[in-house]
Chain A
Amino acid sequence: MRVNFTVNGRKQEADDVWEGESLLYVLRERMGLPGSKNACEQGECGSCTVRLDGVPVCSCLVAAGQVEGREVVTVEGLADYAAHRTDAHPGGGCASGSCGTSIDAAKRWQAKPQDSQTGEAGALSPIQQAFIDAGAVQCGFCTPGLLVAADELLERNSEPSDADIREALSGNLCRCTGYEKILDAVRLAAARQEEAV
């Protein structure tokens, strides 16, 4: 079958998609977007977390056919997505439900090309920069999913408590860090967001 959907602000169509293929497979193997990781294919580890119409989901558990006509944001588009959000909603976070990106706005938005050799996109999103600065990245396999989940947390809750962070990220397994520096990174991103207001 053919699936039409929007990935990181760009219209995409995937042909010859087999009914059993997941959104994760289509992203990784058909769209050339391997940033979302496959670590369990069971919805247990969160490494494949993407935004589907704004909602964080395990893309391994979403059948590709279900994304027809919908909006997907992956880690590859996170920096632009966050930049756009800042433009659209100056001051960063806002109350749950009242912000995020409207479908219209998302349709107008285009991802900026990245230099695939260096990975240098124009700028990183605050949560991406905070993960680097706080030492929250070791092997990095869990990082893309955590970034998408943490960015969504900060979008709806600009001043999360530690318990809020733990709850929001409890669907994302990390085997390297013991999570302490991931907490540091989210706190850091929230603090920087606060400073920027």
Chain B
Amino acid sequence: MAQNTRTTPAGTPTNVTQNHTKGGIGESTLRPDGTLKVTGEFAYSSDMWHEDMLWGQTLRSTVAHAEIENIDISEAVAMPGVYAVLTYDDLPAKMKNYGLEIQDTPVLAHGRVRHHGEPVALVAADHPETARRAAAKIKIDYKELPVVTDEASALAADAPLIHEGRDDHHAGHVPHPNIVHRQPIIRGNVEEARKRADVIVEGEYTFGMQDQAFLGPESGLAVPAEDGGVDLYVATQWLHSDLQQIAPVLGLPPEKVRMTLSGVGGAFGGREDISMQIHACLLALRTGKPVKIVYNRFESFFGHVHRHPAKLYYEHGATKDGKLTHMKCKIVLDGGAYASASPAVVGNASSLSVGPYVIDDVDIEAIALYTNNPPCGAMRGFGAVQACFAYEAQMDKVAAKLGMDPVEFRQLNAMEQGTIMPTGQVVDSPAPVAELLRRVKARPLPPEQQWLAAGEAADVRALPGGLSNTTHGEGVVRGIGYAVGIKNVGFSEGFDDYSTARVRLEVINGEPVAMVHTAMAEVGQGGVTVHAQIARTELGVTQVTIHPADTQVGSAGSTSASRQTYMTGGAVKNTCEAVRAKVLEIGRRKFGSYHPAWATAELLLEGGKVVTDGGEVLADLADVLEGEEIDVELEFRHRPTQAFDLVTGQGNGHVQYTFAAHRAVVEVDTELGLVKVVELATAQDVGKALNMLSVVGQIQGGTTQGLGVAVMEEIIVDPKTAKVRNPSFTDYLIPTILDTPTIPVDVLELADPNAPYGLRGLGEAPTLSSTPAVLAAIRAATGLELNKTPVRPEHLTGTGA
């Protein structure tokens, strides 16, 4: 096939340079991509464009579980404007599956579909509507099979196996092939401890399926290259993980798949898995033309994994003086049809199931199921979010049974530095759980019944029901609730978690300029902002250029698990330190004879100069670098972790822990079941805030996603058919600015001595405790038990199921 000479696609990321006279760590510097983003110039993956490009479309299964008896593509192929139609039989390599940990996910379905919306065929056409219409002309004959939708149907004696002949590394230790992974944790002696309990509280909780609902749908552009490889521009969370999954199914060596990060419109875990990457590459390689795929919102709901829905069974005991005696729990996570991140979610759910409390005697079990429901995997706070919802409800119940204040009860049992986790791991850095609770409780409360005080001027927008004008205060009751949570930071359980940073320092137009090149996925969190800050702090330069993220540099690991500032920030710091050492080496060589301090003093780079720790200037950085260019690429690792024992769950599995607390104030229209969250105050320890503006933004955003789960967000899957019922923003609701309250944030900075600058990963913790705090407040207002997310009006009025 003739190869046109390709130009660079429109929307290819370019270097972003930021000038800032100080702008080191600890300052709230502004985003280097901010101007591009407010002018509409910032190119997201869906904005990529190439001369002669085609549009790809995915045909997805309309049923959840079926054998594919026949696929007829003849009408689709015959449509004018259609360049290719691909099915399983067209896959070019022996490897036809992919997956984050277990390669169980077919690139295109082969003989069987296991969930609603599974990709079956691909079309490339010259207009997106042509591609959509052609896909609709593909005829697939399904022979439907019984669906597996929950624990009972998955583990029944005659349950269909979702994956037959499993040979993955979890297959050997799970009690049933429809269980992806099982992690028990046993510590102490629950039966003995139970005897000491004056009160025992049991509870059963249900956590609904949440969608990441990032605003920029899955999209990207694949451009076939003259060497037979492909250049892929895509929005993802981890370029190198994608690459490892893409190259084998294309039958290409990894170096022939060159990936560049395009603008990412949010992620929240939903871009950890492959979506359109392989499909676009297949179509591009088949047609010899650039192919762009952009999901619409409907397809996006099928195009990525969701947060695991869960059933959680808890038992806690306590003595009458308020000390927790023991905890037993079983957490059943629904992983859906493919494994995705389920094993890691199980590890988190089990190891963090106790919450930030001291309980010596525990009996814990977490499992993830294979079912025919939509695949579930990573979403902000995974595993820990579901557990926190349940254990915090339990804490309120135990406190109530003891007649204690729920905050004081939590503080009495709060973990601290030195506490031993159920896994045997000692928490070896600050864990200010009681202090975080104290801070949110001490905050002044928003005024009560302000609609009475305001009289005629009362603003219905501040009441439940808002602009719908459903109440002027009648039947409205206030409730206050508290919650606190614990999340791990970074990849756990013995995973070789590292990041890579390349830093170049040179003189351009007489000015020293640092260029930072990593493969870190900037998904909105502000990693690019802090990288520039770190380079300024470590190298004393004002001008920092951020190179686009791509696979020409080593892996940065994933933008997930609250890890990127720790890991890639740590990698940038580490590489800058090596660059600084080279600068000083060159300086000593060039100027060492001019001043004895070159040999004797501790030397720093500040304000574009080499200075002694006493502040004496030895040389201009520009003079040292004249005629030189320093370019260093290094890997950075956090301290190693261990796998959890498969029987006892013991092991130093986590790198770092992170904590947040919330106080929710709600007003509930008890007659109509409408909830207005009035305020959602939070306190969080971040170790060290590298950029306070971004820190607070992360905390408020995470808090709001937790609020969404509490009162509105759930993907509804039909229990009879396993089909998704609400794949749109009309039916799947996320909080608007009217649903979101004021979110006052109190930030603590207690350094973790093991972490770069003492920082603590922070993105996920606010999503944990936000949900149970809102639930607790609604319970306080209504007196109802409310053991399920989200709380819907019918749960409050008793008028529905």
Q: Which residue of A lies closest to B11 (CB)?
A: A34
Q: Counting CB contacts under 8 A, is B142 at the interface?
A: no
B40 touches A176 (CB 8 A): no
Rounded to whole angstroms, the CA-CA distance of A165 and B704 in the bound complex is 18
What are the interface flags for B202-244 relative to A under an 8 Å C-beta threshold, 1 for contact and 0 otherwise? 0000000000111111000000000000000000000000000
CB distance from A40 to the nearest CB of B (A): 4
Q: In the complex, what residues of B have CB within 8 A of residue A124's CB?
A: 35, 38-39
Residue of A135, A143, A174 with most partner-chain B CB within 10 A: A135
Nearest to B522 among chain A residues (CB) is A139
Q: B728 to A44, Cβ gap below 8 A? A: yes
**Chain A at the B interface: mostly helix, strand, loop or mixed?**
loop
Indicate if the CB atoms of B459 and A138 lie closer than 8 Å. no
B32-52 contact mask (Cβ, 8 Å, vs A): 1 or 0: 011111111111101101000
* CB nearest neighbor in B for A131: B38
Determine whether B737 belongs to the interface, using a CB cutoff of 8 Å to chain A.
yes
Establish whether residues B297 and A141, one from each chain, have CB atoms under 8 Å apart when the complex forms: no
Q: How far is A140 from B32 in the complex, measured between Cα atoms in Å?
A: 12
Which of A33, A118, A165, A167 meets B467, CB within 8 Å? Answer: A167
Let me know if A132 and B215 touch, CB within 8 A: no
Q: Which of A158-197 contact B (CB under 8 A)?
A: 163, 165-167, 169-183
The CA of A120 and the CA of B467, in the complex, are separated in Å by 40
What is the interface of chain B mostly: helix, strand, loop, or mixed? loop
Q: Are B46 and A38 in contact (CB under 8 A)?
A: yes
A119 contacts chain B at the CB level, 8 A cutoff: yes
Among the stretches A62-70, A72-80, A95-103, the one at the interface with B is A72-80
Query: Known contacts being A135-B694, A167-B467, A175-B734, is A39 close to B704, with CB within 8 Å?
Result: no
**Residue B297 contacts which of A18, A40, A177 (CB distance < 8 angstroms)?**
A40
Q: Contact mask B444-483 → A, CB, 8 Å, 1/0? A: 0000000000000001011000010000000000000000
The answer on a CB contact under 8 Å between B40 and A34 is yes
Against A, the Cβ 8 Å flags (1 = close, 0 = not) of B13-37 are 0100000000000001011011111
| Contact across chains for B700 and A180 when beta carbons are under 8 A apart | yes
Q: How many interface contacts (CB-CB < 8 Å) are there between A and B? A: 192
Min CB–CB distance A98 → chain B (angstroms): 25
B666 to chain A, nearest CB (A): 16
What is the CB-to-nearest-CB distance from A119 to chain B, in angstroms, rounded to a whole number?
4
Q: Is B168 an interface residue (CB 8 A)?
A: no
Q: Which residues of A contact B111 (CB under 8 A)?
A: none
Whether B498 sits at the interface, judged by CB under 8 Å, is: no
Please indicate the chain B residues that have their CB under 8 angstroms from the CB of A166 in the complex: 461, 737-738
The listed residue (B30, B43, B297, B696) touching A34 by CB distance below 8 A is: B43
Q: Scoring A residues 21 to 50 as 1 if CB is less than 8 Å from chain B, else 0, what string do you get?
A: 000000010001111111111101101000
> Are A128 and B738 also in contact (CB < 8 A) when A141-B215, A167-B461 are?
no
A37 touches B35 (CB 8 A): no
Question: B288-312: which residues lie under 8 A (CB-CB) from chain A?
Answer: 294, 296-297
Q: Chain A residues near B28 (CB, 8 Å)?
A: 135
- Please tell me if the beta carbons of B40 and A74 are within 8 angstroms of each other in the complex: yes
Q: Which residues of A contact B10 (CB under 8 A)?
A: 32
Q: What CA separation (Å) do A53 and B228 show in the bound complex?
A: 49
CA distance A172 to B40 in the complex (A): 16
- Are B462 and A176 in contact (CB-based, < 8 A)? no
B residues less than 8 Å from A106 (CB atoms) = none
User: Are B266 and A35 touching (Cβ within 8 A)?
Assistant: no
Q: B693 in the interface, Cβ–Cβ < 8 Å? A: yes
Distance (Å) between the CB of B215 and the closest chain A CB? 4
Is the Cβ of A178 less than 8 Å from the Cβ of B729? no
Q: Is the CB of B461 within 8 A of A37?
A: no
**Any A CB within 8 A of the CB of B736:** yes
Q: Return the contact of B38 from the options A45, A47, A118, A147 (Cβ within 8 A).
A: A147
Cβ B40 vs Cβ A45 within 8 A: no
Known interface pairs A128-B39, A171-B736; 6 further A-B residue pairs with C-beta atoms within 8 A, sorted by A's residue number: A39-B297, A132-B38, A138-B701, A170-B467, A177-B697, A179-B700
